[in-house]
A = this chain, B = another copy of it.
């Protein structure tokens, strides 16, 4: 496989991935970039830097809604540009080390955010969540010994919720597994709702798997607090008006085709900041949305 084939395979992998959350996917991108930095052919340091920057941009373009992919790859790309190395070997080593450092910072931030979140949950409480978030897996890992119970939505179309239920089962967390449609009932039986996020927008609103807005609305309806927990690499400058909700292949619904009936697969929804009781990152709990200049 030559450089170009490898590049295309990796871009395809990231574009098609539905299993990993945004942080995990960003770290996988950093692995790919580190590997390319070590192995791709380039005549000199300048060409190598150009190629790596191009690949970072191509990977970022596959998942525009995922802030960690934008932020971590953007940080990597920017740090790589200056200063220029004279020697391609130095660029290779620097690019690879930088990717590893950023991935480690991201992992540490997730761990710290999860620790803050777990500290907010009382012994024996019931926590309802939606979709699969690696951050929420870390939260539950910290709560498993404290008798906390989970309510997990299946998260159609691809049922990532079943993967989360499998992780919770392995941790010994007593879990109720529900259809997404039952969120209106089970939010009222929980002590708190908590989700990860694909991105936090500039005004504190939450871009996450479709259905998250419904959970936030149901939690508010029942007087149950709704928290979002994620590393601050998920913070984006974008505002809700500038967000185009990504739509994935409608074949994921596996609906028998019917004339005149169009299956739709909008993957994300936007939960406005006023429905969020608290934002939990590696810096701790913040219970007010950021004040942003609307311009």
Interface residues of A (CB under 8 A from B): 130, 152-157, 162, 165-166, 168-169, 172-186, 209-214, 217-218, 221, 245, 253, 255-256, 258-266, 269
CB of B264 within 8 A of CB of A182, answer yes
Query: Could you say which of B162, B217, B245, B261 contacts A185, with CB atoms under 8 Å apart?
Result: B245
B residues within 8 A CB of A168?
260-261
B residues within 8 A CB of A259?
169
Separation of A175 and B177 alpha carbons in the complex (Å)? 30
B residues within 8 A CB of A186?
264, 266
CB of B217 within 8 A of CB of A175, answer no
CB of B213 within 8 A of CB of A260, answer no
Separation of A181 and B179 alpha carbons in the complex (Å)? 9
Separation of A136 and B103 alpha carbons in the complex (Å)? 52
Separation of A269 and B184 alpha carbons in the complex (Å)? 7
Query: Could you say which of B175, B184, B185, B261 contacts A175, with CB atoms under 8 Å apart?
Result: B261
Asked whether A178 and B261 contact (CB < 8 A) given A154-B253, A218-B214, the answer is: no
Separation of A12 and B98 alpha carbons in the complex (Å)? 66
B residues within 8 A CB of A221?
213, 217
Query: Could you say which of B165, B166, B179, B212 contacts A157, with CB atoms under 8 Å apart?
Result: B179
Separation of A217 and B214 alpha carbons in the complex (Å)? 8
Q: What is the CB-to-nearest-CB distance from A179 to chain B, in angstroms, rounded to a whole number?
A: 4
Separation of A184 and B180 alpha carbons in the complex (Å)? 12
